[in-house]
Amino acid sequence: MYMKKQKTLHYFTKLLIDFMFYSGIVVCVLVPLIIYRLIPCTLMAEGVRLHMMVVLILSGIAAVYILGTLRGIFKTLLNANPFTLENVYALRKMAAAAFVISVLYTVKFWFWFTLATAIIVLVFTIAGLFSLVLADVFQQAVQYKEENDLTV
């Protein structure tokens, strides 16, 4: 019963990650169209459109990279072998991508400050720190697993 519940949870998690990954790619590609054709000038000044487009595309690429890396980590979990050095490096790369998004939105402060921007900076900084700590936890787990695998 527990295994069936866990499999259902894994299935929905995989579905959600895949959906966000592919829709993220689509949205990234459509950003220029959205910024220049769909958003009226009452909501966004003409002078900031180019800057917003650059920030959104670059942060979108970083976000899609995070999701792609997460997909890879999740596959190792489904193969019942998550504690590997590759996952440690993947988590560190995810942290770097999260910090990149924080930096991009910090840059956004200079041309269009909003409260939401400040919240995004804070959230992605915390996400980056969380990923770094998790990478260290995984590294310790890899050492314990190796020790256990080589215990006869």
Partner 1 sequence: MPIIVNLDVMMAKRKIGLTELADLVNITPANLSILKNNKARAIRFSTLEEICKALNCQPGDILEFTEHEGHES
Among the listed ranges 70-78, 97-105, 110-118, 143-151, the one in contact with partner 1 (CB under 8 A) is 143-151
Q: Is 144 in the site for partner 1 (CB under 8 A)?
A: no
Q: What is the DSSP letter of 112?
A: -
Alpha-carbon gap, residue 142 to 137, rounded angstroms = 9
Give whichever of 115 and 152 is closer to partner 1, judged by the CB atom.
152
CA distance 4 to 125: 36
Contact string (CB under 8 A) for partner 1, positions 2-41, x = contact: ----------------------------------------
Are the beta carbons of 78 and 10 closer than 8 angstroms? Answer: yes
What is the C-alpha separation between 9 and 24, in angstroms, rounded? 22
Half-sphere exposure of 11 (CA within 13 A, CB side): 6
Residues contacting partner 1: total by CB under 8 A: 5
Residue 150 CB, shortest distance to partner 1, in Å, is 4
CB 56 within 8 A of CB 31: yes
Residue 42 interacts with partner 1 (CB under 8 A): yes or no: no
Least distance in Å: CB of 151 to partner 1?
4
Q: Residue 139 CB, nearest distance to partner 1 (Å)?
A: 17
Which tokens in the block code for residue 99?
């910090």
Distance CA 33, CA 134 (A): 37
| Nearest to partner 1 of 114, 140 (CB atom) | 140
Interacting span for partner 1 (CB under 8 A) from 16-24, 34-42, 86-94, 142-150: 142-150
Judged by the rule CB under 8 A, the positions of this chain that interact with partner 1 are: 146-147, 150-152
